[in-house]
A and B are shown apart, each in its own frame.
Chain A
């Protein structure tokens, strides 16, 4: 029997919610472990090894020293997979990219600000080549299992290329714009089953832009048609989409 592929988890600036989603797979995680060898998962195990095939990377890159660490991981792994919104698209950490760097540091660390190196937050792919992404804040456990299975089978994993609206309609939700609410489902990549809208909220855009998202049309819908102010639209667009080409 061929040796099991070795998989490892690493985290950068993030809340570790995506690794938690993996831990939350419960018995399914034990099933997965029949097919892979977990060699590095600091959040749940003490043993650690630098010998791995697939590296799952969580969190965004916010300091020069993190870049060094990520490049080292890249050099050791056959495949690097960005896990969650922070690693895949930069995520909430990019909100600070719209503020003055020194001011951000001073607000939090006062006169010690200079001691805390940070730069504009960025996704993993801005630093190294990333082989696949599992988006979301947090990731969906089922999608993690599907993508991992595809990787193990040597297939390039694909993500849905349609917007959240498709799944939202299928879920039977009333369009948030019909209710006079702002929603990013119109431009956000599907695959989450519109989970936030179905819970009475609206889409926050955590899975990043859908590949063919029409941002001009989205701006027309949000501002001209639905009447939301520039700042309301900006607040929502900057929460997750801070590291995109979207006009924010």
Chain B
């Protein structure tokens, strides 16, 4: 109902704002992010912000409905297709939920290999984002392609790092995208000792490149807008390590809780001025992702990662969302060093060949929580006694960040009223990009686009019990 009202308002406001000296910035389908998102900013002649919105017109894909009735043997492969970039994370989170529901325990070797897989994905996704998607803004170009002329050496270093991350993922999981070796209970195939040694060498050889990349970013760090807004940071926490694969759900404003309480942390509310549903816990919105993890867990970063954080001037607590890009680079260093440690442990204990584990399905409910590149990801399933899904819920990081992006807009845009439209467009686009949103994953994060493509407010609707 109120969506209609809001549409009518927007339609009236648009022609009014244009004739006087107001400013209007409209980015339809923001580039260098995964999926489709729009930015709308309207500033009137008196420099008053009339509107600033973050919208998403992505086609809904209905994964939670599609997996109903499907067998536990297939689920992790289906949900992997939610996202091409974090397909490993979706698989691992799905497998965790299935194992939780069916009471399946896995070996130490499996846990180490899964952590390696997660590091591989973190590296490929972060490097793709900082190098190919975010860096062009800092270099004043529209894509990474012109850098092949102006900064060939640096670009080749970054490409080399990204290729290393892809090869590392392939060696661990069998493929870089939608991997095949990960299954509930373990792996269908494990790397050989020789392959592990090759991976270790590849990781060690990448360290100078990472140092060079952080030097490059340190030299342009002042191009990141100096904007801060305190918010609640949510992510996995563990007393044992920089939590990625498992832990409790921690917050900078709240006590840590087991993942089974995920709904109490990602709980949703309605905003009076719109029909959109938002997520929040203790603060007015919450942020997940590399910066959230850095703020929560920085003490457990590897030495190399701590050094790179110092070089980049990233200190916890950091409330500048643009610095998420820096936190991603810091996490790359951590992933490299922690992977080397995990490989050493496996080489010391000896790698055992695994065959596909035998599982007797049973009825039950389970929750998986994994840190994927863009933040904490939850999958929750209920299985029947044949191992077929009765209920499914997936809460994806970009959804959790949505309210935070909007709140950042509301704080940022009033500081930009004196800037020209191009600068407003760049700074708001950079803000969205800093979150590295993965909109094609956001099965519940779509606007109410009608068949006639009228502009509507963003909807955030999720399955409720």
Task: Decide whether A and B are members of one complex.
Answer: yes
Q: Please, which residues of chain B bring their CB within 8 A of the CB of A99?
A: 65-66, 68
Q: Contact at B463–A44, with CB atoms within 8 Å?
A: no
- The residue that A200 contacts in the complex, of B64, B144, B174, with Cβ under 8 A, is B174
CB distance from B32 to the nearest CB of A (A): 6
Contacts of A196 in B (CB 8 A): 180
Known: A16-B35, A47-B142. A199 touches B65 (CB 8 A): no
Decide yes or no: A65 and B453 within 8 Å by CB, A13-B59, A107-B463, A199-B175 being known contacts: yes
A117 in contact (CB, < 8 A): yes
Count residues of A near B (Cβ-Cβ below 8 Å): 63
A-B contact pairs, 18 of them (CB 8 A): A15-B87, A16-B35, A20-B177, A21-B84, A26-B162, A30-B148, A45-B32, A45-B136, A62-B60, A92-B66, A92-B81, A108-B60, A108-B463, A109-B60, A110-B464, A199-B189, A235-B71, A239-B78
Contacts of A109 in B (CB 8 A): 60, 444, 461, 463
Known: A19-B84, A199-B180. 17 other contacts (CB 8 A): A14-B440, A24-B162, A24-B166, A27-B156, A42-B32, A43-B34, A44-B133, A95-B66, A105-B62, A107-B463, A110-B463, A116-B448, A138-B177, A195-B175, A199-B181, A200-B187, A232-B71
Contact of A138 among B64, B178, B463 (CB under 8 A): B178
Minimum Cβ distance to chain B for residue A14 (Å): 7
List residues of B (25-54) whose CB comes within 8 Å of A's CBs.
29, 31-35
With A20-B84, A110-B464 as given contacts, are A13 and B61 in contact (CB-CB < 8 Å)? yes
Which of B33, B71, B440 is the most central at the interface, judged by chain A CB atoms within 10 Å of its CB?
Answer: B440
Q: From DSSP, what is the main secondary structure of chain B's interface residues?
A: loop
Tell me, yes or no, whether B336 is within 8 Å of chain A by CB. no
Q: Shortest CB–CB separation between residue A86 and chain B, in angstroms?
A: 8
Give chain A's interface residues, CB within 8 Å of chain B: 11-21, 23-24, 26-27, 30, 33, 38, 41-48, 59, 62-66, 91-93, 95-96, 99, 103-105, 107-110, 112, 115-118, 137-138, 195-196, 198-201, 204, 232, 235-236, 239
B399 at the interface (CB under 8 A from A): no
Instruction: Report the minimum CB–CB distance from A191 to chain B (whole Å).
Output: 15
Contact residues in B for A204 (Cβ distance below 8 Å)? 77
Q: Cβ of B60 and Cβ of A199 under 8 Å apart?
A: no
- Specify which of A23, A42, A46, A198 lies most central, judged by the most chain B CB atoms within 10 Å of its CB: A46
A201 B181 Cβ-Cβ under 8 A: yes
Candidates B166, B356, B441, B451; contact of A65 at CB < 8 Å = B451
Return the contact of A18 from the options B59, B65, B84, B459 (Cβ within 8 A): B84
Quick check: B65 and A104 within 8 Å, CB to CB?
A: yes
Tell me whether A104 and B62 are in contact in the complex, defined as CB-CB below 8 angstroms, given that A44-B32, A200-B187 are known contacts.
yes
Tell whether B320 is near chain A: CB-to-CB under 8 Å.
no
Report A-chain residues with C-beta under 8 Å of the C-beta of B459: 112, 115
- In the complex, the answer to whether A118 meets B60 with C-beta atoms within 8 Å is yes
B4 to chain A, nearest CB (A): 11
Q: Is the CB of B143 within 8 A of A46?
A: yes
- Could you tell me the distance in whole angstroms from the C-beta of B208 to the nearest C-beta in chain A? 18
Residues in A with CB closer than 8 Å to B463 are 107-110
